[in-house]
Amino acid sequence: MRIVLSAGKLASCVKEVVMSGRKLFIVSLVIGLLIVGCSQPGQSVEPVPTYETFGDPYKRIDIAADLYLREVQNGAYVITQDTEFAANSLLVEMADSTLVLVDTPYTIDATRELHGWIIEQYGDRKLIEINTGFHDDNLAGNSYLISRGVTVFGADLTADLLKEHNSPNAPPTNLYPIDEGLELTFGSEIVRVYYPGPTHTLDNVVVYFPDRHLLFGGCMVSGWGGIGSTDDADLDAWPVSLKSLEQFDADLAIPGHGDNFNPENIAETIEALENLE
């Protein structure tokens, strides 16, 4: 007896086999995962963190009501003071164990809290700071850090602008000519401070950690889609200056404000500037 399957019957038969094959696959996958998950008891299956990005959302550490850190790489933390216009700073542990802080929070109190956490976390480590501009969200905590023996690097123009604006904030302790930028070496690792030209202020600089492919863009880079205050900005030069940041091979670009750390935030800031009324 010949069994003749119609095309329709054959198709549904094939479908059945594929379906049950898929079910079988899923069941064996689940069993496989259970076996993998249950094997090697007591051993962590988490990979050792590297300089790769950790992925978003990052591990968050609250250190005060309005102050928290996010660990964005192994030994690299974005510090956020969560005020009306939340602002970011960056703390990086270098190859020789020196800690580099890029910008302080908005206030002395928040800077004290942050410094306390650093001491608690790392003990009596060498800590240096780099200012990326003369606004409060860059350096209002300078005086506290300087009182704790921290060396603060900043551009000559930053010190000039503080004076010009009669700022109550302490200027950096170690000045460099802004057009020359700055390179600091910590064992096998360097940090580059680069001035791309006028942007959100005349003196904003960026800080690049080449071994980590980590760029602190600061207030010239927006991580929230908007532009914010343009009181001290050079709106014509800003997008041109931003284009020169393409030279950095960054995996992460930390903005002065906002949660978008993807380096595409640089192009997005240029676009937002071009669309400004």
Torsion angle, alpha carbons of 164, 137, 89, 152, to 10? 30
Q: Which is nearer to Zn ion, 137 or 232 (CB)?
A: 137
Shortest Cβ distance from residue 46 to Zn ion (Å)?
35
Shortest Cβ distance from residue 176 to Zn ion (Å)?
21
Instruction: Show Cβ contacts of residue 159 under 8 Å, excluding neighbours closer than 6 positions.
Output: 171, 172, 175
DSSP states of 60-84 as a string? Answer: EEEEETTEEEEEEETTEEEEEE-ST
Shortest Cβ distance from residue 268 to Zn ion (Å)?
17
Q: Which is nearer to Zn ion, 98 or 265 (CB)?
A: 265
57: preceding bond cis by omega (within 30 degrees): yes
Instruction: Classify residue 40 by its DSSP letter.
Output: S
Region from 36-44, 133-141, 151-159, 179-187 binding Zn ion, contact rule CB under 5 A: 133-141
Token code pair at residue 228 = 């914010």
Token code pair at residue 80 = 């956020």
Q: Does 219 bind Zn ion (CB under 5 A)?
A: yes
Shortest Cβ distance from residue 240 to Zn ion (Å)?
20
Q: Which is nearer to Zn ion, 90 or 219 (CB)?
A: 219
Q: How many residues bind Zn ion (CB under 5 A)?
A: 3
Pattern 168-207, Zn ion, x by CB under 5 A: ----------------------------------------
Shortest Cβ distance from residue 256 to Zn ion (Å)?
4
Candidates 93, 113, 137, 189: give the one binding Zn ion (CB under 5 A): 137
Burial of 228 (0-12, 13-18, 19+ CB in 10 A): middle
Tell me the C-alpha distance between 158 and 179, whole Å.
12
Q: Which residues bind Zn ion (CB under 5 A)?
A: 137, 219, 256
